[in-house]
């Protein structure tokens, strides 16, 4: 009996050993010996320098070197970047920052950040749902909600993640996302993450949207239309009242991304609803970022209580991310307060933006569809030319403006993109456009 038990034990141990031993799969799917050689993999699939993205970057850099140009990206600003900035030790006129109302660097805003830093430390050290909640988060969200006359708002630590997480969570495979063809990458990624069907409509074309909704609305459960308040490539705005009319008629949600329009549009900078004098509750989801006019960082969603509570408890980009540091939240609170006290900053921004647009047109430059509100492109129609102009303006004239190149825009739409600030002067504009006109004339000879 003892011998029988010993043999049985030995057999069971052997079976267990065989089950847990490493097994390599042969090409036809059967198990091969534990130490069989793996099927060779092409070397290009194991090297980062063979990745298509890096190959494209290397090709672009090679082309720039052949043209005698420096990489136009990742320029280092050595201080506060507003209407002017310091790059490589040289002061320049700056048209490449979103500091529209000049509050980033304002001593009052800086002091608010310093006070919050002293009180709460450099990090809240946890996601807000766990133990990262601080009174300053509630204060910020209530200030944002007040700006939109909304029930509530929720602040995310990243503007890009705000759209990704909001769209990614709210929609699903039985739903539809309809968006302007020029919508920001963050909304595209959010729509893809959701698993919903996605369709684009012609830029700023409510009639094209109406046709899509008439054709497809009945095929889906939830449908959301996503547009921007101010398109940062073109400097134009949507016909918001018309989009609201369509969303009501077709029974869909309307989401407006105000990353660039908040602080710019409207008499006091409260955004697109103030510009059109409409009730902001007519829009289902207001989205914005705090890295531009609001001089902080992160993004927000404002809307009714059910929307905000749902995102606060379930949106992955909020739920699983650390809470916003207090010194990042505090500047935006202060800016929201100052904006209402200093509407002249918005007025100055409107005035200088219109002046830039008018003078650019007077020089015969192609400004596309810009309305002259903080963002004005000058379309030059060639990526090499746009890169050359940007390079020469900085090197010879100490003017900083970024080129927008293919594939970010079609090659024929390559451009210089000018961001205006409230403290740009007419002298800044005249000097810049005169220099650009000279370079464009040289390029044509």
* Domain enclosing residue 425, as ranges: 66-95+343-444
- Verify that 300 and 408 share a domain, yes or no: no
Asked if residue 4 has pLDDT above 70, the reply is: no
What sign does the CA torsion over 228, 232, 233, 234 have? positive
Inside any domain, residue 3: no
The CB density around residue 431, as the number of other CB atoms within 10 Å, is: 15
Domain boundary among 281, 314, 341: 341
Q: What is the pTM of this model?
A: 0.89
Inside any domain, residue 40: no
Inside any domain, residue 12: no
Asked if residue 31 has pLDDT above 70, the reply is: no
The pLDDT score that the predictor gives to residue 38 is: 79
Inside any domain, residue 50: no
> What CA–CA distances, in Å, run from 83 to 86, 88, 422?
11, 17, 8
Nearest one of 294, 292, 280 to 338, comparing CA atoms: 294
Inside any domain, residue 259: yes
| pLDDT per residue as tens digits for the range 205-255 | 999 999 999 999 999 999 999 999 999 999 999 999 999 999 999 999 999
Report percent pLDDT > 70 for the chain: 92
Q: Omega before 407 cis (within 30°)?
A: yes
Inside any domain, residue 327: yes
Inside any domain, residue 19: no
The pLDDT score that the predictor gives to residue 24 is: 47
Domain boundary among 318, 341, 364: 341
Q: Which residues are CB-contacts of 406 (< 8 A; sequence separation ≥ 6)?
A: 383, 414
Structural contact between residues 292 and 332, judged by C-beta atoms closer than 8 angstroms: no
- What integer is the mean pLDDT of 119-123? 97
- Round the average pLDDT of the chain to a whole number and report it: 92
- Verify that 322 and 405 share a domain, yes or no: no
Report percent pLDDT > 90 for the chain: 83
Asked if residue 271 has pLDDT above 70, the reply is: yes
CATH number of the domain at 377, please: 3.90.1150.10
- Verify that 165 and 313 share a domain, yes or no: yes
Q: What is the band of 25 on the pLDDT scale with cuts at 50, 70, 90? A: very low
- Verify that 319 and 395 share a domain, yes or no: no
Number of domains making up the chain: 2
Residues 338 and 108: their CA atoms lie apart, in Å, by 9
CATH number of the domain at 293, please: 3.40.640.10
The pLDDT score that the predictor gives to residue 406 is: 84
| pLDDT per residue as tens digits for the range 155-181 | 999 999 999 999 999 999 999 999 999
The residue to which tokens 């029930």 are assigned: 151
Domain boundary among 312, 341, 370: 341
Q: What is the band of 36 on the pLDDT scale with cuts at 50, 70, 90? A: low
> What CA–CA distances, in Å, run from 67 to 64, 383, 401, 402, 409?
5, 12, 19, 17, 21
Q: What six digits make up the tokens of 178?
A: 């309809």
């Amino acid at each position: 009996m003892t011998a029988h038990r010993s043999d049985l034990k030995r057999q069971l141990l052997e079976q267990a050993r065989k089950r847990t031993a490493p097994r390599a799969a042969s090409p036809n799917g059967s198990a091969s010996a534990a130490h069989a050689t793996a099927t060779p993999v092409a070397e290009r699939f194991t090297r980062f320098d063979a990745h298509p993205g890096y190959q494209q970057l290397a090709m672009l850099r090679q082309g720039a070197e052949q043209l005698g140009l420096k990489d136009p990206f990742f320029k280092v600003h050595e201080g506060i970047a507003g209407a002017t900035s310091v790059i490589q030790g040289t002061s320049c006129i700056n048209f490449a920052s979103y500091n529209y109302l000049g509050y980033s660097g304002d001593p009052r805003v800086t002091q608010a950040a310093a006070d919050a830093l002293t009180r709460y430390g450099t990090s809240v050290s946890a996601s807000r749902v766990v133990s990262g909640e601080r009174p300053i988060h509630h204060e910020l969200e209530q200030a944002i909600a007040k700006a939109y006359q909304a029930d509530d708002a929720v602040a995310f630590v990243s503007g890009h993640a705000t759209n990704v997480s909001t769209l990614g969570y709210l929609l699903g495979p039985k739903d539809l996302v309809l968006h302007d063809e020029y919508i920001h990458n963050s909304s595209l990624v959010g729509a893809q993450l959701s698993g919903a069907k996605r369709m684009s409509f012609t830029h700023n074309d409510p009639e094209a949207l109406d046709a899509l909704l008439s054709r497809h609305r009945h095929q889906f459960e939830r449908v959301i239309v996503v547009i921007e308040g101010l398109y940062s490539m073109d400097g134009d705005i949507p016909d918001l009242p018309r989009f609201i009319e369509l969303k009501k008629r077709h029974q869909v949600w309307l989401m407006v991304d105000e990353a660039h329009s908040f602080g710019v549009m409207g008499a006091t900078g409260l955004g697109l609803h103030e510009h059109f004098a409409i009730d902001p509750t007519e829009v289902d989801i207001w989205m914005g970022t705090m890295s531009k006019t609001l001089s902080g960082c992160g993004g927000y969603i404002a809307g009714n209580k059910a929307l905000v509570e749902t995102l606060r408890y379930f949106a992955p980009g909020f739920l699983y991310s650390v809470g916003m540091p207090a010194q990042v939240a505090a500047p935006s609170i202060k800016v929201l307060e100052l904006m209402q006290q200093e509407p002249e900053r918005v007025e100055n921004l409107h005035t200088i933006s219109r002046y830039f647009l008018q003078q650019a047109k007077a020089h015969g430059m192609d400004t596309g569809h810009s309305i002259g509100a903080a963002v004005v492109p000058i379309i030059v129609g060639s990526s090499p030319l746009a890169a050359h102009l940007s390079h020469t303006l900085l090197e010879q004239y100490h003017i900083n403006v970024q080129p927008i190149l293919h594939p970010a825009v079609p090659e024929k739409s390559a451009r210089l993109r000018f961001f205006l600030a409230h403290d740009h002067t007419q002298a800044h504009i005249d000097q810049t456009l005169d220099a650009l006109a000279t370079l464009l004339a040289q390029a044509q000879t």
